[in-house]
Structure 1
Amino acid sequence: MTMTTGRDEEDVHLSALIESDKEDGDRIVWSKKIEGMFSFLGLCVGLGNLWRFPYLCMRNGGGAFLIPFLLCLLFCGFPLFFLEVSLAQFTGKDALHTWEVCPIFRGVGHGMVIATFVMTFYYNANTAWIMFYLGNSFITPLPWRSCDNDWNTDFCVSSRSFNASESATNFTRGNLYDETRLMTENISHQQNSNVTFPDELIKHKYVTAEEEFWQYRTLEISKGIDVLGHIPWHLAVCFLAAWTLVTLCLIKGVKSMGKVVYLTATLPYVLLTVILIRASFLPGATDGMLFFLSPDFEKLRQPQVWVEAALQVFYSLCPAWGQLMTMASYNKFHNNCYRDSIILTILGEGTSIYGGFVVFAVIGYMAHDANLPIASVVKSGPGLGFVVYPEALSKLPLPNLWAVLFFLMLLSVALDSQFACVEVVIAAVMNHFQSLRKKQLVMTICVSMALFLLGLFLCTQAGIYVYQILDWYVAVTLPILGFIECIIFGWIYGAERFSKDVNMMLGRQIPVFVRICWCFINPIVLLVLFVFTFVSYEPPTYGDYVYPSYANIIGWLIGMLPIVPVVLVGIMTVLKTPGQSVFEKFKASFKPSPYWKPISKKHAMDYHIDNSAASLGLLEQMKLNILGK
């Protein structure tokens, strides 16, 4: 007789469940499992993986930073990812409508949708900038390489190795502002008098051609957030093209998005590999990659390094944004989301490390070419994507080819993230107003058009200042939403009860390790992240520009928006809950509502919630939630 192991029995049981999975009915699900996986992967691999993680790694101990990063991925990233995916797969509902498990916290879903809406509002500006650079990548020579254009100032230099003796040959065209012109005239006069300037002054005053193309041609940047200026026609056109592309890809919801991600989710890996192979043969590339990995274990003694590792994992995997829930709501009921969560967290954060090799190979070449320290070339955020990389690629043979490949990669990464953001908003509206479910095309066009019109604000000459402040504040309270999630499923509803729900889907209980993370590790880490955000707060800046106080006040108000519905909806829920007294209403509002049930019609018919743990003491409940029965 053939003996079957416990693991084999589990797999056979799950296969049987999947074979009999006819209860999804007319619910919208991914056409193929691979489409769902690619969509999740595209969501987890965002621009931050490519232009924030390498910078954090360099600043926090190089290869040593990978230790806290991987530990945070194991103990925080994966458990939170699995929590949200399994929750939405069980209910089959989007982020706004999946909180009947604890009605008093229905506002958590509202907070997630608000945060994602704000992100959707400004994130597509990245796509517009990328499309503008992509279009200019077909111009020979590359327009950001020289200093003899109309937008260049007298401070423009064509090489980072610029020195005082070369300064006279690098002066080019007129200036943007009168005060810049006066400074230039003074410097020119002193140079004619054969005065020698310190290198620090030269480096401070002069700007590379690539940065001037970014600031003065792409953005046509104004002096500050209170100087809106006009809307440059090229940004408006690119922004319209970006929203048109997003609308076309989402025209049939997840059905059309599932087809698009075959390209957008895989293309970045192909192009990253091509760029890495080419960059590896450049002088200085090896030094850059060694710099990326060289460990400084002394840094691990600093709490900030661990906190930044946790923040990077938290924001790159997207828990508490609502995007994971919305995407997972399209999974089939018996989909093995536990295995998917393991694969996706490894692939998503592994891309950050892989992208770091690509970034530092190029930066190492730049530093070698300019005879500068590697650390002086590294930037984070848009500065890396639109200044440093274009500068490096323009020095390669066939620069137009490499520029096109690079910006195609950025475009695919940006689009994947934007798809998920827009889908959260559309799904929330359509599931709230169910009469709109049959009007997917109209809803997608209306939402995209509204966001395009609102987003034109980001296309003004002050748009980058608006972008920076929104990006700075939008996520400050999201750790609190994640904290509430963990408290609900770790303690209020309980890890044991939710484990039974997961067992209904997967044929297996939630592992003890994951339960411990939900009950103890994740809440503590998320609370620390929230406190750290306030303790280490520094107001945003853009280069040397300091925001006025009113801009920071507006930023904080935007950052606090996701918390507002948690309080308001909670109060409204208590008032509407049946009960003789306010205390009874309050207590009852923590219990699952009748709408908390599996999306599977077959399982929903005889579904009931086990309340036997309610009579247990605290220690017994802790033991039950962690170890199970």
Structure 2
Amino acid sequence: MVYESSYDSGRRPFKPDLTRGYWAAPSDFIYTCISLGFRMDVVWMGLTGAIITYILCMFLFVVPIIVIQSFMGQFSSSGFISTFRMSPIFKGLGYISLFVNLAVLSYYSLFAAVPLLYLFHSLRPTLPWSCEGIEKWFPNSTEAEVKHSCKMLDVVDIKAGMMSNTHIRYEVPSVLFFQSVFDVSYEYKSPFLFSWELLVCTLLSWAIVAGVFYRFYNTELMSKFLRYTIWTSLILLLICVGRFMLLPNDWSYIFSYFMAKPVDIVRGIPSTVLIIVSAFGPGWGSIIALASFNRFRANIMHYSWIICLGQMGIFLAYAIITQIIQGYFKSLTTQYAHVEGLYVEVNDHYAPYLTSGSVIATMSWPNLWSIIFYAMLTLTALITMITCLFSIYQSIFDEFEMLRSRKTEVTLGLIGVLAFLSLYTCSNHGALFFSAMSMDSLFTQTALNLLLLLVVLWVYGRVRFQRDIEFMLGQRFATWKVNMLRFVAPICLCLLLLVAILASFVRHSNSSIVILIAAVFLIVLPWLYLPGYMIYVFLQTTGSFKMRFQRCSRPMDWYPVEMEERQRYEEAMGNMEITHQLNQITDEVVP
């Protein structure tokens, strides 16, 4: 049998939303998935490692997992919750992914609010983070003068009062500017304070998102909106890369990223591998939901490679900007290199997000380039938020039929809740400690990808997966590719899982209690839903113990939604006698 109806198992059958629509153009799926590479919560922590690591991981597990997620969404024409009717006992994974997406969005507005804050201040005649403007807005609050890169001491002055093994650290003015909006130093034990400027920018970001969903309310309109905004952001990103490359650079420092030494490659593997996870978006399941808007015969194999190459281009663009920024501050310390016993560094953390401002201030027409750069960062963050929310909404409406008639209320209501939760990031603690939840989401995302391989290739089965994807694509799907997915990709994900656990532990060791509690409720506790939902589905299914287990594991209502493709699917599998009446629901059916 090709599929079994949930109605036959005593459960409410899946009812597809036939009004959900398709992409306005097939390429819109590619553009939207490429834009998932704009994810900034990993770029914020810096780009290290080497491009060879990214390319290797792309072949081993990134492209294969994108293929599987695209297959699930496109074949079933449903989001990341309903698509798990492929194996109903694992449907709890869809609800876990829903919590993960909401958890990420609860802090992700920070990546739109911060550049928006810098964008507004770029309209001043003198940039506040330039050497000319820094003394006006950052007075020293302590007796010890703050050392920053605009006032680096001469070698002669340092030698005059130098002791053995002297370590001098200079701050970056654009980072000091961000600290100044809280009126405290940016330290782990600083008092808890809100920034009204950041609060206004956060609320404005969510207002823009709400306006977009209110105006572009259906799939075709949203498709066109995302297409043009993504193209705009990509053009702005290329312009910024070109302008940064015109700065006087030590090109050997930039090339070291592309032609790294073996020891640098090994050292950079953990951070590079974590960044690679950004290919799947800020939460989990976005690719599944986005692929559900494809036509049934869309060639996801070609799309997946184009998406990965496009995301690699974005990754390289951010990496080039980061290398130039780090090279710029490194060049400021070269005059001290020959002094024995002296170590001088510029604390260029949070490149390219915060430290970029001081580099832009050295350019000609700094206000113009500051506006362009921070407008690009704001736009990319808003696109990521909108794309993630778009996949969440469609997954919710696919799963819960009763909400389809109240789309506007659900859409704006959820945005309001997320806007309220994100207010914590307007504090100095929220802006500093959010990275702990970011590491938690990377761990959960990796675990979900690992379980996805289990569901599709082992529970649903290699043969059925290979059969379905060949039917959908109309071309052969080689067995060696399936074996790569079954054996090689899980090993890579297990190693990545260990890195994510270690990174999460380190981040939480320096985090606040509020972030820890939020992570428990939004990241840890949802995992209890997986065994709970398994037990619930098992108990609500009719039959003996063995029959219940088999019915819970077998695909239910798993078929192409389009009637023509569904008939072809049944005919190809030799099951034309299947005549499930999916619309016969009685009061005895379990909801």
TM-score (norm 1): 0.78
**Equivalent position of 1:163 in the other structure:** 153
The answer to whether the 8 A contact 1:113-1:424 is kept is: no
Question: How far apart in 1 are the matches of 2:136 and 2:163?
Answer: 27
- Could you tell me which amino acid in structure 2 is paired with residue 505 of structure 1? M
- Say which of 567, 578, 585 aligns to 2:531: 567
How far the C-alpha of 1:96 sits from its partner, in A, is 1.2
1:59-208 aligned at under 5 Å gives the runs: 65-145=50-130, 146-153=133-140, 155-159=145-149, 162-163=152-153, 196-197=161-162, 203-204=168-169, 207-208=171-172
The answer to whether the 8 A contact 2:436-2:504 is kept is: no
- Could you tell me which amino acid in structure 2 is paired with residue 149 of structure 1? K
- Could you tell me which amino acid in structure 2 is paired with residue 354 of structure 1? A
- 1:518 corresponds to 2:481: no
Q: 1:128 to 1:470 in 2, by over 3 A?
A: same
The answer to whether the 8 A contact 1:72-1:309 is kept is: no
The answer to whether the 8 A contact 2:182-2:428 is kept is: no
**Equivalent position of 1:620 in the other structure:** none
How far the C-alpha of 1:283 sits from its partner, in A, is 2.0
Moved more, 440-449 or 406-415: 440-449
- 1:250 corresponds to 2:235: no
Report the 3-state secondary structure (helix = DSSP H, G, I; strand = E; otherwise coil) of the residue aligned with 2:364: coil
Question: How far apart in 1 are the matches of 2:38 and 2:518?
Answer: 29
Q: 1:411 to 1:200 in 2, by over 3 A?
A: farther
Moved more, 91-100 or 263-272: 263-272
- Could you tell me which amino acid in structure 2 is paired with residue 85 of structure 1? S
- Say which of 21, 30, 34 aligns to 1:28: 21
**Equivalent position of 2:304 in the other structure:** 341
**Equivalent position of 2:542 in the other structure:** 578
- Say which of 442, 451, 455 aligns to 1:488: 455
Question: How far apart in 1 are the matches of 2:237 and 2:156?
Answer: 36
How far the C-alpha of 1:533 sits from its partner, in A, is 3.3
- Say which of 317, 327, 333 aligns to 1:364: 327
Unaligned stretches of 5+ residues in structure 1: 1-22, 58-64, 168-190, 613-629
- Could you tell me which amino acid in structure 2 is paired with residue 600 of structure 1? E
Render the CA deviation track for 1:289-311: whole Å, top value 9, x for unaligned. Answer: 123334211345x4x75455443
Unaligned stretches of 5+ residues in structure 2: 1-15, 338-342, 575-591
1:346-425 aligned at under 5 Å gives the runs: 346-369=309-332, 371=334, 376=345, 379=348, 383-425=350-392
- 1:261 corresponds to 2:226: yes
How far the C-alpha of 1:598 sits from its partner, in A, is 1.3
TM-score (norm 2): 0.83
The answer to whether the 8 A contact 1:68-1:306 is kept is: yes
Q: 1:524 to 1:296 in 2, by over 3 A?
A: same
The answer to whether the 8 A contact 2:440-2:500 is kept is: no
**Equivalent position of 2:565 in the other structure:** 603
Q: 1:589 to 1:329 in 2, by over 3 A?
A: same
How far the C-alpha of 1:504 sits from its partner, in A, is 2.7
**Equivalent position of 1:449 in the other structure:** 416
The answer to whether the 8 A contact 1:219-1:464 is kept is: no
Question: How far apart in 2 are the matches of 1:426 and 1:335?
Answer: 23
Question: How far apart in 2 are the matches of 1:504 and 1:497?
Answer: 10
The answer to whether the 8 A contact 1:279-1:285 is kept is: no
How far the C-alpha of 1:118 sits from its partner, in A, is 0.3
**Equivalent position of 1:183 in the other structure:** none
Question: How far apart in 1 are the matches of 2:410 and 2:111?
Answer: 23
**Equivalent position of 1:325 in the other structure:** 288
Render the CA deviation track for 1:263-318: whole Å, top value 9, x for unaligned. Answer: 33123332233233333332224243123334211345x4x754554433233334
RMSD of equivalent CA atoms: 3.4
- Could you tell me which amino acid in structure 2 is paired with residue 494 of structure 1? G
Question: How far apart in 2 are the matches of 1:588 and 1:96?
Answer: 18
Moved more, 210-219 or 233-242: 210-219
How far the C-alpha of 1:478 sits from its partner, in A, is 2.4
Question: How far apart in 2 are the matches of 1:228 and 1:605?
Answer: 62
The answer to whether the 8 A contact 1:24-1:600 is kept is: no
- Say which of 243, 248, 269 aligns to 1:278: 243
Render the CA deviation track for 1:468-499: whole Å, top value 9, x for unaligned. Answer: 33223233232221111111221221232122
Question: How far apart in 2 are the matches of 1:370 and 1:254?
Answer: 53
Report the 3-state secondary structure (helix = DSSP H, G, I; strand = E; otherwise coil) of the residue aligned with 1:203: strand
Q: 1:118 to 1:535 in 2, by over 3 A?
A: closer
Question: How far apart in 1 are the matches of 2:384 and 2:426?
Answer: 20
**Equivalent position of 1:18 in the other structure:** none
Question: How far apart in 2 are the matches of 1:35 and 1:199?
Answer: 61
- Could you tell me which amino acid in structure 1 is paired with residue 247 of structure 2? L
- 1:43 corresponds to 2:30: no
The answer to whether the 8 A contact 1:158-1:209 is kept is: yes
- Could you tell me which amino acid in structure 2 is paired with residue 148 of structure 1? E
**Equivalent position of 1:292 in the other structure:** 257
Report the 3-state secondary structure (helix = DSSP H, G, I; strand = E; otherwise coil) of the residue aligned with 1:474: helix
Moved more, 452-461 or 145-154: 145-154
**Equivalent position of 2:588 in the other structure:** none
Question: How far apart in 2 are the matches of 1:94 and 1:227?
Answer: 43
Question: How far apart in 2 are the matches of 1:379 and 1:587?
Answer: 56
**For this pair of structures, how many residues does the alignment match?**
546
The answer to whether the 8 A contact 1:75-1:521 is kept is: yes
How far the C-alpha of 1:115 sits from its partner, in A, is 0.6
Q: 1:116 to 1:562 in 2, by over 3 A?
A: same
- Percent identity reads 20
- Could you tell me which amino acid in structure 1 is paired with residue 153 of structure 2? N
Render the CA deviation track for 1:84-107: whole Å, top value 9, x for unaligned. Answer: 011101101111111011111001
- 1:592 corresponds to 2:528: no
Question: How far apart in 2 are the matches of 1:456 and 1:354?
Answer: 31
How far the C-alpha of 1:536 sits from its partner, in A, is 6.4
